Structure 1
Amino acid sequence: MIRAVSLAAALAAFAIAATAAPTKPAPPKKIKVSAPARQGTPYAGREDVMAFADEVAERQCLDPQWTRAALREARMLPVVVRLMQPAPAGTPKNWAVYRSRFIDPVRIQAGVRFWQENRAALERAQQEYGVPPEIVVGIIGVETIYGQQMGTFRVLDALATLSFDFPQAHPRAAERAKFFRNELEQFLALQHQLGVDPAKPLGSYAGAMGMPQFMPGSWSRWAVDFDGDGRIDLWRSATDAIGSVAHYFKAFGWHPGMPTHFPVAFDEQRLDKETLLAPDILPTFSVPSFLAKGAVLDEAAAQHTGPLALIELQNGAEPPSYVAGTENFYVITRYNWSSYYAMAVIELGREVKDAMPRGGS
């Protein structure tokens, strides 16, 4: 999956600036990519790439001739570099715009069909991992519209480009390039294990794969053979995708039965919003300390026993929206490090659940 971590939606970083820095890239920018832009420049002549191939072979106990041959097939794609560029500084974030990209009748109806067709797998995933169907449905819907848009880039090209030619203008270029080199290594090891030609798999421009857009490292750690056919297939098996997403959330500490967030208002006379926002999306405040800093919660939230975070969703020129995020809200951000992403997943899942035929959920 992910890291994403995942991941996912891991079709890549959003065009609008509503994203926080993601653990794994989110669904894709709307952009036409011409055939020449996909051809790119071969990495076959790069000594640093061949040296990396030898290092991977040693660490993963692979044949160095195989890893070299694989990376000789990889190409540097300028379009991937362009897509990974951060949004211009000062671009306003806008939750309403972000939300509109994922919460629409077409996606909701696709989600209803997906839920109806995979009800047994969703129920079993909840029984085994504690993650409710609407969260799994929300993830797969945001990431790929239930498998309709799983990416058209060769994963090998995308990961190689971001490993060896990550845009230097990015504020975290060194850290991100290191992340993608690790993902490229995991991808090569995984394809060797599966006996698959590394040049064949297609995914996002960030190298995320399948219905849930798992990054290679997430696939290796958290993907499961949930349909029991002896192999993990996140491209064609909705059952494997469902089980893998639920397994991922359990691994990151999902609390069965806990809400993801609560409504919140403010007592302006006591409000210390700066302190409440300082930890960002990390749940830090007990309910008493949250209230003491000027937050106002309803009765259900006031009974919550875990920590809370004040989540701010900016709305461009309009006033921001706020919710009190729980530990489960934070778990969703482990799939993609963005409060906007987490809210889109939550709200899409809720809309799909509400649209299910009576008695169908």
Structure 2
Amino acid sequence: MRRLLSHALPAFLLAATFLAAVPVAAQAAKDKRNAAVRGGISYATRADAMQFADEVAARRGLDPAWVRATIGNARQLPNVPRLMLPAPSGTPKNWQVYRSRFIDPVRIAAGVRFWRDNAATLARAEATYGVPPEIIVGIVGVETIYGRNMGSFRVIDALATLAFDFPEAHPRAAERQAFFRGELESFLSTESRTAENPLVPLGSYAGAMGMPQFMPSSIAKYAVDFDGDGRIDLVHNPADVIGSVASYFKGFGWQPGVAPVFPVSFDPTRLQKQVLLAPDIVPTFSADAFVAGGALLQGEALRHPGLLALIELQNGYEPPSYVAGTKNFYVITRYNWSSYYAMSVIELGREVRTAMEQ
């Protein structure tokens, strides 16, 4: 991951600022490269990859030789495609096990430190974007433990591997491969406007970068220079991380002051569970319709003016857990399309807030 500068700055100033930073960061960049997961075969030998490079250069108005050289220096990561495959059919989901991976003393303690160190910035983000601190703290904690684990794969390798060698066995292989080709193109477009080496940034095996693990297109659309220093740095600058996560959620329609979930129980004599579960995580039912379907709500939930979704969290062979999800729950799933992920973000944020108040 590299520092991304505001697009409003003149091109010569962008280059000057980046070049000034390069000597200072040279050793750190070298250390990162040495620690990176190594790829195998170079994409320079792949006709489909070089054709894609020419198409990107034409679409984006980039130097074809630079695009070809960048993609040509990408190397296939042999183990990454299998990591994209869903769990085998019949594998039981277990919310309690999933939760235990993210809600633990180490992450909570790190979250308390992050919140205390950045309290003023978190408050400013809430005032600016309407997203409460515990949601931002929950995201950064779940994603990277506040920057401790931002990934060791070269981003160019990860994106190229998934753009050109996405596993055909995946049930949505064509759609997902198209997504990663778009992300590779976005990465190249952004990198072309900097003076840094596009082979240096590291991230996850899916190409996500920085403390918040933004994909390249999310960086382009939602990342912000929240401290006003003229650059966007999602690796080292918590202010930019906080502002960018809040900007992301606002971009997907976060509603200030609305709880993401409400408790729910059931009236077995009237319960139409399959009807309530049919829309999955998409908020569909008014509070009145929810109650008419046999779901029991209390207090604020009964007065909620928006739509609700019944969220089921399976617990292996034990009975599932349920909550009523609002539009804000759905917004959290735009970060990662999983109700289990969203609940982990919510509950980590709650646990950190509770620890802060002790």
Q: TM-score, normalised by structure 1?
A: 0.88
Q: Is the 8 A contact 1:70 1:199 kept in 2?
A: yes
- Following superposition, the deviation at residue 357 of structure 1 comes to 4.6
Percent sequence identity is: 69
Q: Measure, in 1, the Cα distance between the counterparts of 2:195 and 2:185.
A: 15
Is 1:345 the counterpart of 2:342? The answer is no
Runs of 4 or more above 3 Å deviation: none
Gapped regions of structure 1 (runs ≥ 5): 2-34
If each structure's helix is expressed as a fraction of its own residues, which one has the higher value?
2
Secondary structure at the aligned position of 1:312 is classed as strand
Give the structure 2 partner of residue 123 of structure 1: 123
Give the structure 2 partner of residue 322 of structure 1: 322
One-letter code of the match for 1:105? P
Give the structure 2 partner of residue 44 of structure 1: 44
Q: Measure, in 2, the Cα distance between the counterparts of 1:104 and 1:293.
A: 36
Q: Report the count of equivalent residues.
A: 325
Q: Which has the higher contact order (CA 8 A, sep 6+)?
A: 1
1:1-361 → structure 2 map (5 Å cutoff) = 38-357=38-357
Q: Is the 8 A contact 1:38 1:79 kept in 2?
A: no
Q: Is the 8 A contact 1:313 1:339 kept in 2?
A: yes
One-letter code of the match for 1:149? N
Q: Measure, in 1, the Cα distance between the counterparts of 2:199 and 2:119.
A: 34
Q: Is the 8 A contact 2:226 2:240 kept in 1?
A: yes
Q: Measure, in 2, the Cα distance between the counterparts of 1:45 and 1:252.
A: 40
Q: Deviations over 1:178-226 (max 9, x none)?
A: 0000000000111111222111000000000000000000000000000
One-letter code of the match for 1:133? P
Q: Could you say if the C-alpha distance between residues 299 and 36 of structure 1 is closer, same or farther in structure 2, counting changes exceeding 3 Å?
A: closer
Q: Is the 8 A contact 1:37 1:78 kept in 2?
A: no
Q: Measure, in 1, the Cα distance between the counterparts of 2:324 and 2:84.
A: 31
Gapped regions of structure 2 (runs ≥ 5): 2-34
Give the structure 1 partner of residue 11 of structure 2: none
- Following superposition, the deviation at residue 120 of structure 1 comes to 1.1
- Following superposition, the deviation at residue 36 of structure 1 comes to 11
Q: Deviations over 1:6-42 (max 9, x none)?
A: xxxxxxxxxxxxxxxxxxxxxxxxxxxxx99723111
- Following superposition, the deviation at residue 81 of structure 1 comes to 1.2
Q: Deviations over 1:129-177 (max 9, x none)?
A: 0000000000000000000000000000000000000011111111000
Q: Deviations over 1:262-287 (max 9, x none)?
A: 10011111111111000000000011
Q: Could you say if the C-alpha distance between residues 333 and 36 of structure 1 is closer, same or farther in structure 2, counting changes exceeding 3 Å?
A: closer
One-letter code of the match for 1:42? S
Secondary structure at the aligned position of 2:229 is classed as coil
Q: Is the 8 A contact 1:311 1:325 kept in 2?
A: yes
Q: Measure, in 1, the Cα distance between the counterparts of 2:86 and 2:274.
A: 26
Secondary structure at the aligned position of 2:324 is classed as strand
Q: Measure, in 2, the Cα distance between the counterparts of 1:272 and 1:39.
A: 51
Q: CA RMSD, aligned part only?
A: 1.3
One-letter code of the match for 1:177? Q
Q: Measure, in 2, the Cα distance between the counterparts of 1:251 and 1:195.
A: 29
Secondary structure at the aligned position of 2:115 is classed as helix
One-letter code of the match for 1:333? T
Give the structure 1 partner of residue 17 of structure 2: none
Q: Measure, in 1, the Cα distance between the counterparts of 2:339 and 2:289.
A: 22
Q: Could you say if the C-alpha distance between residues 262 and 183 of structure 1 is closer, same or farther in structure 2, counting changes exceeding 3 Å?
A: same
One-letter code of the match for 1:336? N
Q: Measure, in 1, the Cα distance between the counterparts of 2:348 and 2:193.
A: 36
